[in-house]
Structure 1
Amino acid sequence: MFGTHGNCQKHERTHNGEKPYVCKQCGKAFSTQNYCKIHERIHTGEKPYVCKQCGKAFSTQRYCKKHEKIHTGEKPYVCKHCGKAFSTQDHCKVHERIHTGEKPYVCKQCGKAFNTHSCCKRHEMTHTGEKPYVCKQCGKAFSTQGCCKIHERIHTGEKPYVCKQCGKAFSTQGCCKIHERIHTGEKPYVCKQCGKAFRLLGACKVHERIHTGEKPYVCTQCGKSFTVRGACQIHERTHTPEKPYVCKQCGRAFSKQRYCRKHERNHTRDKPYVCKQCGKAFSKHGYCKRHERTHTGH
């Protein structure tokens, strides 16, 4: 039952897919006038909702109210699984999905599931190619406003998120939260098989492959599979001449970082061979000769 005819019509659009409200700037269509107005603020930059404490402005009332709870410190929503408290019910629900593994948002294109609506929407744009958010500095386009803002901090050097423990600053809230777990010891991601806890979701997923035997990264040359992308990339270099790790002393290149580091230690030993031109010393006669050629051009 609906209180008004308008509310009923709005609900019916979720079934019939009708989107009668169209953005004047880009032509994107919406099921409600309110959604259309909020979207149009991307183009106009309008932020009518202002925080009473610090004056920060927001495009929606919901975002403004969520922000204002930062100042009050109010965290009325508590996780049923671990007791962690949150300022908003949404944040609490998203957090609880870490424990339950629930992923209620499904991509209409490929069926991939996500634990938040925003992550799902962001993913769906990889299928459509839509990138409505443009960097003011260099013109690079992004599928989400959040990604665009983070990118723009490369140009401005802004790092608005500061660790409460040590004062280290970060360009994204996510990086700051991950860092703070070093101080708190919080490990919210737990292996379903053995109960081992991890600070990072990625580390937990890699660990779980020990139990499942999953090796999703496959060498394009020989078909050998790996549990982590990095191991696969290192292996693939055995098929190609790629050697991205270069010794700072002599310029010798290596396919693996550990080989390069091991080699660089050779330079810290005795260096009896000295360049006649500039006095630079080397541990091996061959290195010295190679270097001296940089002066002669031979």
Structure 2
Amino acid sequence: MEVVKEEPDIKLVCEAGEELMGVVKEEPVVKLESEAGKEIRAKVKEEPEVKIECEVGEELLFIETGIVQDTITRPAKAKRFKCLQCGKSFAYKSRLARHSIVHSGVKAFRCDECGKLFTKKGSLTQHLLIHSGVKNYKCDECGKLFTDKSTLTKHLLIHAGVKRFRCDECGKLFGAKGDLNRHLLIHSGEKKFKCDECDKLFSLKSHLTQHQLIHSGVKKYKCDECGAMFRVKSHLSEHLVSHSGVKRFKCDECGKMFGHKFSLTQHLLIHSGVKKFKCDECGKQFGTKGNLNQHLLIHSGVKKYGCDQCGKLYTRQNALNKHLQHH
């Protein structure tokens, strides 16, 4: 540490590199020591107390009876600037002004890659990482990579099982606000994603993407139990319930239990009396498309269900099951 012999003004520099100004009149020798184990000492003969302040006037060091107390205090700035829209408070008026742009709806920052608009420059900067393709943040749980730390943090909530965003329409819970916002599109009835193959509309792009697999014919998810193939992983997961034997969805009308919610929904059409699926061959109507498809096998003449006891063939599995009861 430099020893100042003649000049009365000394400069102190803290660990963060900020210059701290102070005046010691009589004793020029000052010995400094950091928190890592050095002592901060100063000998002051005539002034028993010297307060050293930074440029903004915050008290950083206090010299008393010749010894600098190693307590650097930076009192938190009072947050006295409050947003009238959401109640959030800020320490500086300039930060409140920047925050207010969010509520104004003004989006002055545009992405040159995709045209997306943002209210803040910082949001645009983060968004540009998506186009860069750089993903430096990795999830230790599943190995998934992310472009920014905030997205990784939100993703980790999935593994933690934390779901704090609730849909007021149906009560479904979500781990991220973005997932809830996407889900709300389903309730809005808005369907802006169209399938080029069959013109079917969807509320979410992800639903359209899953639907398009039907037209591709690709089935890459296989059931290890029975070998059935599925286009979508979620469909395989639902199918696996049938092998488990677990039936947790109950019909309030007749008490019948189902392994899948979709199966219960289809079953409820029977009680409703609605039959919107009609056979073009004979005009018979059915409550579900599945029942219609089963019925169409009769007209096809294909009999692929055979009895092991007598060799008799049937077009439908349920017809074979009834036949087996008589053996």
Q: TM-score, normalised by structure 1?
A: 0.50
Based on CA coordinates, which of the two structures has the bigger radius of gyration?
2
User: 1 or 2, which has the higher strand percentage?
Assistant: 2
Higher share in helix? 1
Relative to the length of structure 2, the TM-score reads 0.46
